């Protein structure tokens, strides 16, 4: 994904926007995941946060690529 988004005349990588969106959602979902017993099972709570962020960023990137969804699911 080498797309760029133009914001006020400045070209910004689209991956940056997906990362910002994923970090905001991770920030909002963090209290919910830390209340669930899943947090007590995990080895380190920070690993849970990084995993949630990585999965959200990957998911947004996959959904942003229309040609990837048309050709198949990338794993």
Tens digit of pLDDT for each residue in 30-75? 888 878 776 667 778 788 889 899 999 999 888 877 654 455 555 4
Beta bridge partners of 46: none
22 pLDDT above the threshold of 80? yes
- Answering whether pTM is above 0.85, one says no
CB 49 within 8 A of CB 39: no
- C-beta neighbour count of 70 within 10 angstroms: 7
- 22 CB burial (10 A radius; 0-12, 13-18, 19+): buried
Beta bridge partners of 33: none
Between CA 8 and CA 51 the distance in angstroms is 33
């Amino acid at each position: 994904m080498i797309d760029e988004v133009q914001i006020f005349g400045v070209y910004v990588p689209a991956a940056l926007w997906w990362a910002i969106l994923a970090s905001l959602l991770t920030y909002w979902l963090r209290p919910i995941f830390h209340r669930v017993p899943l947090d007590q099972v995990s080895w380190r709570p920070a690993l849970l946060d990084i995993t949630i962020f990585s999965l959200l960023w990957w998911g947004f990137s996959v959904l942003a690529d229309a040609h990837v969804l048309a050709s198949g699911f990338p794993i």
